[in-house]
Chains A and B, each alone.
Chain A
């Protein structure tokens, strides 16, 4: 369990390490209007857009910080805060809504004690809502990390999430 935790932390670079950013800046050097891909790649490398990194990015790519910040807060893809170990995305597309996605989200919120867009204090889960993930025939849908859970019922939500929470897959209320 501990090992796994470490592994997960290493998924992303530390914001104090500018190495990955420099590589990304180089990749887009001289390219017109590359701010969004710059931010996308940076977020991929660091997991989120830390203030230090954002400042270095603005400077390195020749943007005003306000521009970079304005863009990062406009698009929902960008995160200014680190995310938890597991990312839960609940589909709120039309089909999933009609199938009761709101009840699913509510139940997750009740269980984890966080609202949409928030991360649990133990940094285990981040809850997000997304729009149609293209699997409407399986609605309502929740995606945890890479796994899709379709035809969900509110009553089953806890059972699914507990698998991700506990050490060897089970238990731990």
Chain B
């Protein structure tokens, strides 16, 4: 990319970067650059995926060589700029360098296949010109000026892309339903509610490349015959909302949204609707109710939204990631997209790696990779060299898979066969310090909190399951509880109105299937081997490590810790309330739970 003969600095300025302190780095950089001492300029971009090394700056020199630096802070800014000016590379901070792909975390990117994330981190998301300079809006122009809606639907069908929002329904087929539905007015909705509590793929795309989503929507709207579209975005994503606003305004200026777009006689516009905090509103019929200004309670399907959706009109709902892939598919052809992946799962999938994985961040991989490749080759394996225990996929609707299933392919059907789901892309890695019963309890407490309360199996059933799990975690579980969980899980899955309840038991079912021993440890032996469940652990101080600094004794709320100064301390198990405060306080990490 041309830098205009100067050094170009691009600061990762997505939510993750900002949370890690990118704003202070930005201020520092701007101040330094304002002195005019350096032959460099600053731009911003969305998340590059290296969340684990934020704040991040990519430096591109006039020859096009680039180095990505991580772990920046305002203090490091002048050192950085001097290095840039001197053409020097600060090896210790390198995340990736273009001339040495093996350096730093280079293989994180090298092992990816970026279609949806093609621009994320590479362009300024607040500039439509930068998007256009990468070929942006050419796909929409092509679609509107030289293709019929049927041809578009065919092309998308050929790509084999399946909905990335979780259910994996073939997008081309879905568009076909909406196209065929009778009705003067049809609607398109982009589902950007992203409620999985451990996933932020959609947010990163919206923050890093909002125009890709808008372009995908223009194509989808034209294909199904919808002139009005909505983006339903959670209110917790202020930056994504802001960038969408900027992008939509720019599109109006350029004639890409509004009346007669791209010089045709096709009208198309997009309105943003902010969610108000309800996971269930990611479900299609609840989402529709919410846009209509009602309580977000699902209704049975059929009738499907394709026939009776928003305001009773035919409505097509697609996920952010699905839509962001569309321009690429139209520009490069469905066949090319379909050449990536497995027989029934085509293209790529974005995953959000988190938990005990070394490189927690955003990665896009081809379908057909093994989970091992995703977690170890891309994600760098488990943190602190600990042992891999499980990966949770699909969040509250998904499941936990053990090490023995690491060779499962990233493929809708292969993953479903294990009891987990592809889901929207959350991948939480667990190590020996993660309690699987507690994790199941966590997800159940999430779904139970988020249940809309309309149908009985979900409203009361998930509550009862949660109560059983809480009982097990607090050491009061009984052997019959496992059977109760099984019964409830089966009937909730089959009986619930919407997929929230319909999938809520999955985290429990998969942990029961693959980690039953941990349940039995909790119930029969009253032990939490991971050292997580407070009622089932005891805290100890390792005498040979403790320096007797007394920090633990000071913080203990119940004075359970005693010992002479500079002598090893000890915990009185009877007094201890297992709040674990001392655990994080000890500078020597001498305290452990078991």
Query: Do A and B interact directly, with beta carbons closer than 8 Å?
Result: yes
Known: A133-B15, A136-B352. A94 touches B581 (CB 8 A): no
CA distance A76 to B451 in the complex (A): 12
A12-45 residues with Cβ-Cβ distance < 8 A to B are 32-37, 39-40
A94 is contacted by which of B54, B296, B442, B585 (Cβ under 8 Å)? B442
Query: By the criterion CB–CB under 8 Å, are B579 and A134 in contact?
Result: no
Query: By the criterion CB–CB under 8 Å, are B274 and A136 in contact?
Result: no
Query: By the criterion CB–CB under 8 Å, are B15 and A154 in contact?
Result: no
CA distance A135 to B580 in the complex (A): 24
Known: A40-B274, A106-B579. A138 touches B294 (CB 8 A): no
User: Does A141 interact with chain B (Cβ within 8 Å)?
Assistant: yes
Q: Total interface residues on B, using CB and 8 Å?
A: 61
Chain B residues near A134 (CB-CB < 8 A): 14-16, 19, 200, 203-204, 237
CA distance A82 to B303 in the complex (A): 41
One of B353-361, B365-373, B458-466 at the interface = B353-361
Query: By the criterion CB–CB under 8 Å, are B19 and A150 in contact?
Result: yes
Chain B residues near A110 (CB-CB < 8 A): 557
Query: By the criterion CB–CB under 8 Å, are B360 and A95 in contact?
Result: yes
Query: By the criterion CB–CB under 8 Å, are A76 and B277 in contact?
Result: yes
Query: By the criterion CB–CB under 8 Å, are A94 and B355 in contact?
Result: yes
CA distance A131 to B203 in the complex (A): 14
User: Does A71 interact with chain B (Cβ within 8 Å)?
Assistant: yes
- Distance in Å: Cβ of B523 to nearest Cβ of chain A: 21
Query: By the criterion CB–CB under 8 Å, are A135 and B428 in contact?
Result: no
Chain B residues near A94 (CB-CB < 8 A): 196-198, 354-355, 392, 395, 426, 428, 442-443
CA distance A100 to B277 in the complex (A): 23
Query: By the criterion CB–CB under 8 Å, are A71 and B428 in contact?
Result: no
Chain A residues near B203 (CB-CB < 8 A): 134
User: Does A103 interact with chain B (Cβ within 8 Å)?
Assistant: yes
- Distance in Å: Cβ of A73 to nearest Cβ of chain B: 9
Chain A residues near B198 (CB-CB < 8 A): 93-95, 132, 136
Query: By the criterion CB–CB under 8 Å, are B16 and A137 in contact?
Result: yes
Interface string of B216-246 (1 = CB under 8 A from A): 0000000000000000000111000000000
CA distance A107 to B585 in the complex (A): 13
User: Does B430 interact with chain A (Cβ within 8 Å)?
Assistant: yes
Query: By the criterion CB–CB under 8 Å, are B276 and A137 in contact?
Result: no
User: Does B72 interact with chain A (Cβ within 8 Å)?
Assistant: no
Query: By the criterion CB–CB under 8 Å, are B355 and A98 in contact?
Result: yes
CA distance A92 to B197 in the complex (A): 8
Interface string of A134-171 (1 = CB under 8 A from B): 11111101000000101001111000000000000000
Known: A71-B294, A136-B51, A155-B581. A39 touches B15 (CB 8 A): no
One of B285-293, B342-350, B496-504 at the interface = B285-293
Q: Total interface residues on A, using CB and 8 Å?
A: 44
Query: By the criterion CB–CB under 8 Å, are A78 and B276 in contact?
Result: yes
User: Does A5 interact with chain B (Cβ within 8 Å)?
Assistant: no
A46-90 residues with Cβ-Cβ distance < 8 A to B are 67, 70-71, 74-78
Query: By the criterion CB–CB under 8 Å, are A138 and B197 in contact?
Result: no
User: Does A130 interact with chain B (Cβ within 8 Å)?
Assistant: yes
User: Does B295 interact with chain A (Cβ within 8 Å)?
Assistant: yes
Closest Cβ neighbor of B14 among chain A residues? A134
Closest Cβ neighbor of A98 among chain B residues? B355
Chain B residues near A155 (CB-CB < 8 A): 555, 581-582, 584-585
User: Does B195 interact with chain A (Cβ within 8 Å)?
Assistant: yes
Chain B residues near A36 (CB-CB < 8 A): 273-274, 276, 290, 293
Chain A residues near B200 (CB-CB < 8 A): 132, 134, 136
- Distance in Å: Cβ of B227 to nearest Cβ of chain A: 16
A-B contact pairs, 24 of them (CB 8 A): A32-B292, A33-B292, A36-B274, A40-B235, A74-B295, A74-B452, A75-B276, A78-B276, A93-B198, A94-B395, A95-B198, A97-B442, A98-B428, A98-B439, A100-B580, A100-B584, A103-B579, A107-B581, A131-B197, A131-B279, A133-B236, A134-B19, A135-B20, A155-B585
Residues of B within 8 A of A (CB): 14-16, 18-20, 51-52, 54, 195-200, 203-204, 235-237, 273-279, 290-297, 311, 352, 354-356, 360-361, 392, 395, 426, 428, 430, 434, 439, 442-443, 446, 452, 555, 557, 579-582, 584-585
For the A-B complex with A40-B235, A103-B580, A137-B361 known, give 7 more contacts whose Cβ atoms are closer than 8 Å. A67-B294, A75-B275, A75-B296, A94-B428, A133-B19, A138-B19, A155-B581
State the 3 A-B residue pairs at the shortest beta-carbon distance, nearest first. A94-B198, A35-B293, A75-B276
